[in-house]
Amino acid sequence: MENFLMKLDAFLWGAPVLILLFAVGLLYAVKTRFFQFRHFKHIMKSTAGEMFKKSTVKGDGTLTPLQAVSSALAGCVGTGNISGVATAIFVGGPGAVFWMWIISLFGMLTKCVEVTLAQYYRIKGEDGVYYGGPMYYIERGMGRKWKPLAVFFAITIIVGGLGTAAFVQPFAMSNAMNNAFRIPTWVVIVAAALICGMVLIGGVSGIGKFCEKITPVMCLIYIISVVGIILTHLPQIPQALATIFTHAFTPLSATGGLAGSTVAMTIKQGAARGTFSNEAGCGTSPITHATAISPHPFKEGMYGSFEVFIDTLVVCTMTALAIICSGPEIWQSGLKDVALTQSAFSTTYGSIGPVIVSVCLCLFAFSTMVGWEINYESAFFYIFPKASGSNAAKLLIRLIWLVPGFISLGKTPELVWTVVDIVSGFWCIPNAIALLFLSGTFMKIYNDYNEKYILKTRPLTDKLD
């Protein structure tokens, strides 16, 4: 059984899913004439330039733009930014970073599309909260005959969420704190469950308010720490970049920790780890963004582009540079996963380096555990819409969310990660089908935004059909 699951995982995250996601990104890049490059300044001005201003945005929704992007980032900026990048370098070599960049540059537009569609096709639930995401734009955009596909997607979100965010993240958190401070794992699990439970009591709004405070802080702590490493290895930056570009097409041979890299392996590792990290094309972040207050669906879509930029092109890139700048004696040492990142931190911070990584890992894991609950809850209420109006139902599913953390005590997550990877592949396939199917709808929304906000040839009061 385990062998079958590993083969299925390798198949899904080999050519099929990665080619499909790249095709979606390329299609929309061509259709919008590479909007993410031509209007990068506009994207940053409309997101980073506005999200910290006192919110005066008008429109329907549950979360402010800052709360929505913070919750979505909390869900995707996680252990993958620390351990996933290290794994990509260990298995695929430094060249994997180049392919991580490529998939993310196109992923910026893919995520913009899925968030835009989630906003456009969202509904207002029995509890007054806005719900959306792939399950809604599959059914409402493609027609009711596609509802089985929408239900299948929702089920994979529930199963995958309980497996990755509610099981693996508490496991990673408890082990990180145990390694750094010798705190018993059960103490960490109990504390995480109590704090997470208190946040969840506030519902979607409570999660949004929590994430808008913790997400910027945790990202800043990690970025400052990594900048310290890069500054102490500043002379090695040009060589590190040269190594990345050179070995993107001529992978290193089997030396040190590299397990016989090939071009295909390098591409797969970079593309897969980039996708795992930023979740572009997975259909997960749009569920959170569907709750946001926004004057136009495409405007919220640009927050999706911003997320990919921050998650992969900033945070993951900085992790990669910190590891590669530390020298071949580090990234070819045979160390992998978190241990490789900790080794790189030790070159600058000494014995405190692994502690910094452990604390950051704990923060990232906890934020993922909290932020991802929105996706899990929304998927549940898609399948059982009447339950969204029941406080008892909400309490029950939130309590269920806390259970996997306790089950993770004393477990090894390898098989769970394999199952989660498979479920993640099944997220991407129905979502990518929908994104290809609904290209006409997206282009209508995109052209409406372009005419109103960029070209300014139409008044903002004109209604979007």
Distance between CA 39 and CA 25 in Å, rounded?
A: 16
Q: 148 is written with which tokens?
A: 């089985």
Q: 4 is written with which tokens?
A: 């079958």
DSSP collapsed to 3 states, 175-187: HHHHHHHCCCHHH
Residue 412 lies in a domain: yes
Residue 145 lies in a domain: yes
Distance between CA 388 and CA 370 in Å, rounded?
A: 19
What domain range includes position 127? Answer: 64-454
**Can you list the residues of the chain whose pLDDT is less than 50?**
253-260
Distance between CA 67 and CA 311 in Å, rounded?
A: 16
Residue 196 lies in a domain: yes
Q: What is the pLDDT of residue 420?
A: 65
* Greatest Cα pair distance in the chain: 62
Distance between CA 140 and CA 435 in Å, rounded?
A: 13
Number of other CB atoms surrounding residue 412 within 10 Å = 9
Q: What is the pLDDT of residue 261?
A: 55
Q: What is the pLDDT of residue 12?
A: 74
Q: Which residues pair with 131 in a beta bridge?
A: 123
Residue 365 lies in a domain: yes
Distance between CA 189 and CA 185 in Å, rounded?
A: 6
Residue 43 lies in a domain: no
CA distance between the termini of the chain: 50
Torsion of CA 332, 78, 382, 391, to 10 degrees: 150
**Residue 292: what are its φ and ψ, rounded to 5°?**
-75, 150
Residue 26 lies in a domain: no
Residue corresponding to tokens 């910026």: 108
Q: Which tens digit of pLDDT belongs to each residue from 290-302?
A: 998 888 999 999 9
Residue corresponding to tokens 């930056």: 237
Q: Domain tally for the chain?
A: 1
Q: Which residues pair with 123 in a beta bridge?
A: 131
| C-alpha closest to that of 96 among 223, 227, 339, 275 | 275
Task: Specify whether the CB–CB gap between 137 and 301 falls below 8 A.
Answer: no
Burial degree of 4 (CB within 10 A; 0-12, 13-18, 19+): exposed
Distance between CA 104 and CA 76 in Å, rounded?
A: 13
Crossing angle between the packed helical segments 353-371 and 337-349, to the nearest 10 degrees: 130
| C-alpha closest to that of 92 among 303, 274, 260 | 260
Number of other CB atoms surrounding residue 238 within 10 Å = 9
Domain CATH number, residue 309: 1.20.1740.10
Distance between CA 340 and CA 343 in Å, rounded?
A: 5
Task: Specify whether the CB–CB gap between 378 and 161 falls below 8 A.
Answer: no
Residue 330 lies in a domain: yes
Q: 184 is written with which tokens?
A: 């018993």
3-state secondary structure of 123: strand
What are all long-range contacts of 186-190, with beta carbons under 8 Å and residues at least 24 apart? 186/409, 188/362, 189/405, 189/406, 189/408, 189/409
Distance between CA 200 and CA 370 in Å, rounded?
A: 8
Residue 121 lies in a domain: yes
| C-alpha closest to that of 356 among 223, 196, 206, 243 | 223
Q: What is the pLDDT of residue 257?
A: 44
H or E element in which residue 299 lies: helix 297-308
Extended strands (E) in 333-416: none
Q: Which tens digit of pLDDT belongs to each residue from 174-188?
A: 888 887 888 898 999
Going by the DSSP 8-state scheme, the letter that residue 65 receives in this structure is: H
